[in-house]
Chains A and B, each alone.
Chain A
Amino acid sequence: MAKKLNMRKRYELLTRGLGWEPTYQPKEKVFAQEAYEGIKITDWSKWEDPFRLTADAYWKYQAEKDKKLYAVMDSFAQNNAHLNLADASYVNALKLFIQGVSPLEYAAHRNFARLARQFSGEGAQIACQMQSIDELRHAQTQIHTISHYNKHFHGMHDPFHMFDRVWYLSVPKSYFDDASAAGPFEFITSVSFSFEYLLTNLLFVPFMSGAAYNGDMATVTFGFSAQSDESRHMTLGLEIIKFLLEQHEDNLPIVQGWIDKHFWRAYRLLGLVAMMQDYFLPESPMSWKEGWQIYFVENAGALFNDLARYGLRMPKYHEIATAEADHISHQVFGIFYNYIHAAAFNLGLPSEAKMNWLSEKYPDTFDKYYRPRMEMWAEMAKEGKRFFNMGLPQLCQVCQIPMGFTEIAKGEPMQVAYRVSEFRGDKFHTCSDGCKDIFDHEPEKYVNAWLPVHQIFQGNCGGATVPDVLAWYHFHPEDGGDYAGSADEARWKAMKGTAASSTAAAKTAPADAA
């Protein structure tokens, strides 16, 4: 009679011990990326497998999940279920998603494969490999879900071309390139811990509950289907931090530095999500500030209490991010309101009802600082002087968002913040102490940033005029601008039968599709 094996032991026998210490090539050459960041691993076998999933079980579960997901996707398309949306303005959230988030899923896929090659411990190696293939799943299921929307709305037609070029998409791209260019341990600290563990809910919940609130069942389905993968990824994020800190005390300052840096980097990126959450959704389940309070202040606070025994503290400048929670969505909205003619989504001033919601959610700031601004812009638009900023903005050298954030922590919320560093005789501008610290720590890295505005001025972006640059982005004239009067709005009304359908439809359809 064969002896019984429990799950843990069985997984260990099937998996651990597969790797070996090379002898025909030096270990430092085979695992060339394991040492150069200064991280010390004394014993990979101490790694706790965060999920004991064998390959065959993985195939089985994932195939079952995808079968359900694609059934929903197919029926969504077949029934033109986009007609059930609360309003077509919601689709702008999906535009931002396919342009700015799906490419990051893809980049995660490629980079977790790097870790799966470079980590010499099988436990961590296989966990990274599973995450790599999961991330491919996310990118591909998002492409497939949003494919239907691309057939009926503007701005989603060429997301991967845009991701490599468009000014505001350099924010997510540079964020991920930063981690991808770093060593493997910094990458995993950045993506698995600072992003997936600390902040992913702030990305996931707004998009998915926004989708649920606004009748987008296809997106809700891929979101929830991805969530079971995400929970594995979050577990990996926490496990890697604990593992690194338990391996050697010298790892602590390095890891803390990475957490500080990538927290701030990710937080700045999430400014785009904050705008989406407070200004894109016809029906808003939760404000940015409420999300920040729950998912960062409370959850991350509790987490760092637990991690204190390893010597870790909260990420540097977390209190500034919390102070900014009252302002950030309004400030990012202001930036995009200025430049919406150069974006591939639509935006509009909030309605009176929406402004009242914002007043209620932001009692300390909205009426005092931001409502007057909205009202002035509305007034200008009414007079036929809709304000567009026709100049090009100065970008932060690190986060690449136009320099529009203010000195909130210093109690001067109306004073634009800017910081300057000098390196090799040149001046470099950053938007905050957080971004300046990042620059100053590795100036030789950040001077390489592909800053869209600099690139336009250097003539690398299709030409010298705004239409030239937009054509180079593959934007169509109907992709950007205010939502009111947009091609999407006209088409939506035509689809819903609330306007003279034939003329509106004819006007919004490109000649070749008619």
Chain B
Amino acid sequence: MSLNIAAKEIKPLRLNYAHLARRMGEHKPATRYQEAVYDVQPTTNFHYPPSWDPSRKLYDTARTAIVMQDWYSFTDPRQFYYTSYVAARAKQQEIMESNFELVEKRHLLQSLPAELAEQLRQVLIPLRHYEYGANMNNQDICHRGYGTTITSLASFNGFDRIGMAQYLSRIALLLDENEETSLHAAKQAWLEAPTWQGLRHALEDSFVLDDWFEILVVQDVVMDGLLYPLIYEGFISQVAAQGGSAFLMLTQFMNEWNEENSRWTNQLLKVTASESAANAELLAQWTQTWLVRLEQAFMPIAQLAFGEQGAEQLATVKATLLARLAKQGIKV
């Protein structure tokens, strides 16, 4: 028996698709990330004006006041395309699954002080509606935004929100032993309790913004930039210290998610602001306006979470956000 594995040498004609070769040269093969995102969106020669926005084209750079020479200047530091995205989330969900299992199996919520449980119901569970609204905004960015490196991340971001809304719903069911009480109460609070009205009002106002990039700044930078550190770092740490350490596990996804998600929003802000003074000015103006409003909107939520320390906690979170923005070249 002879082994004949001497393969014929096959020299490729080219290493890259031409649109990638134009960006990175012909001799450096593109990564899967680059292949998946660069220049995939149509840019010209559209056939019909959209009935939902007749004065603009189907894909149009004029849907934002931000101006970029090249809408693919921004790339994701995480290099997410569909497959790397679902692979990363599949790992995280596996951890979350075992976290939930452990909490349930070991009855870790049984020893939770009743007062703390009640506070958790009031602070955490209404946030499932916040995530749903944030999802709407990100679906909008995915649709009306420009350039696949940005729009595909909005798609992933939105999908994550549904995941997190579902985790929060599971927490409610866990607290209530599968009764719907907290789910209903939280929705009621979201719709009527004064604590939540500032945030809901801001969110609903963001739904009707025309400029998709402004929506991105409001939602994914300012609102998230206040809410996540306030709740998933500050509040949950406090809960853990008071006997609710199980919640470190039950909200692990959200905590990690914010850290990971800030990496791409930071990069996007940085690239956009460094493009031109006009962009930087616009980003500063949007952040400024919304930060003022959202700081007020978050005050009652901070008080619900931290009592008298609410204002201080919020001020710390705000200072962190301002520092973060300054690092990207946005002076508020």
Interface residues of A (CB under 8 A from B): 1-5, 13-15, 17-20, 22-25, 29-30, 32-33, 36, 54-56, 58-60, 62-64, 66-67, 69-70, 80, 83, 103, 106-107, 109-111, 113-114, 116-117, 122, 126, 129, 132-133, 136-137, 139-141, 143-144, 147, 150-154, 156-161, 163-165, 170, 173-174, 177-178, 180-184, 445-446, 448-450, 455, 474, 491, 495, 497, 505, 508-510, 512-513
**B97 in the interface, Cβ–Cβ < 8 Å?**
yes
- Whether A55 and B86, one on each chain, are in contact in the complex, defined by CB atoms closer than 8 angstroms, is no
Instruction: Give the number of A-B contacts (CB < 8 Å).
Output: 255
Within 8 A of A (CB), among B22-49: 26, 32, 35-36, 39-49
How many Å lie between the Cα of A277 and that of B101 in the bound state? Answer: 51
How many Å lie between the Cα of A141 and that of B160 in the bound state? Answer: 21
> How many positions in chain B have a CB within 8 Å of any CB in the partner chain?
85
- Chain A residues, CB < 8 A from B17: 143, 147, 150, 156-159
Residue in contact with B163 in the complex, picked from A2, A55, A150, A164, CB distance below 8 Å: A55
What's the least CB distance linking B233 to chain A, in Å?
A: 23
Q: Closest residue to B46 on the A side, CB-wise?
A: A177
What's the least CB distance linking B9 to chain A, in Å?
A: 10
Interface 9-mer from B200-208, B219-227, B244-252, B255-263: B200-208
How many Å lie between the Cα of A18 and that of B87 in the bound state? Answer: 26
How many Å lie between the Cα of A129 and that of B129 in the bound state? Answer: 17
- Whether B42 and A22, one on each chain, are in contact in the complex, defined by CB atoms closer than 8 angstroms, is no
- Whether B12 and A136, one on each chain, are in contact in the complex, defined by CB atoms closer than 8 angstroms, is no
A14-B170, A59-B163, A448-B48 known; A24-B201 Cβ under 8 A: yes
- Chain A residues, CB < 8 A from B42: 103, 107, 160, 163-164, 173
- Whether B10 and A66, one on each chain, are in contact in the complex, defined by CB atoms closer than 8 angstroms, is no
- 10 A-B pairs within 8 Å (CB atoms) are namely A25-B204, A64-B90, A110-B59, A116-B136, A133-B156, A150-B17, A154-B13, A158-B18, A161-B19, A180-B50
**B271 in the interface, Cβ–Cβ < 8 Å?**
no
How many Å lie between the Cα of A14 and that of B173 in the bound state? Answer: 9
- Whether B93 and A4, one on each chain, are in contact in the complex, defined by CB atoms closer than 8 angstroms, is no
How many Å lie between the Cα of A158 and that of B18 in the bound state? Answer: 5
- Whether B158 and A60, one on each chain, are in contact in the complex, defined by CB atoms closer than 8 angstroms, is no
- Whether B155 and A132, one on each chain, are in contact in the complex, defined by CB atoms closer than 8 angstroms, is yes
What's the least CB distance linking A384 to chain B, in Å?
A: 30
- Whether B40 and A114, one on each chain, are in contact in the complex, defined by CB atoms closer than 8 angstroms, is no
- Chain A residues, CB < 8 A from B187: 17, 20
What's the least CB distance linking A20 to chain B, in Å?
A: 6
- Whether B51 and A140, one on each chain, are in contact in the complex, defined by CB atoms closer than 8 angstroms, is no
How many Å lie between the Cα of A474 and that of B156 in the bound state? Answer: 33
How many Å lie between the Cα of A30 and that of B208 in the bound state? Answer: 6
Within 8 A of A (CB), among B150-173: 151-152, 154-156, 158-160, 162-163, 165-167, 169-170, 173
What's the least CB distance linking A491 to chain B, in Å?
A: 8
What's the least CB distance linking B204 to chain A, in Å?
A: 4
- Chain B residues, CB < 8 A from A173: 42, 45, 47
- Chain A residues, CB < 8 A from B45: 164-165, 170, 173, 450, 455
Ranked nearest first, the 4 interchain pairs of A and B with the lowest CB-CB distance are A55-B163, A63-B90, A113-B142, A151-B12
- Chain B residues, CB < 8 A from A449: 47-48
A59-B86, A495-B8 known; A19-B132 Cβ under 8 A: yes
Q: Closest residue to B50 on the A side, CB-wise?
A: A181
- Whether B166 and A144, one on each chain, are in contact in the complex, defined by CB atoms closer than 8 angstroms, is no
**B89 in the interface, Cβ–Cβ < 8 Å?**
yes
Besides A449-B47, A474-B18, 4 more A-B contacts (Cβ < 8 Å) are: A20-B129, A55-B163, A114-B139, A180-B50
Q: Closest residue to A120 on the B side, CB-wise?
A: B136
- Whether B142 and A24, one on each chain, are in contact in the complex, defined by CB atoms closer than 8 angstroms, is no
What's the least CB distance linking B307 to chain A, in Å?
A: 28
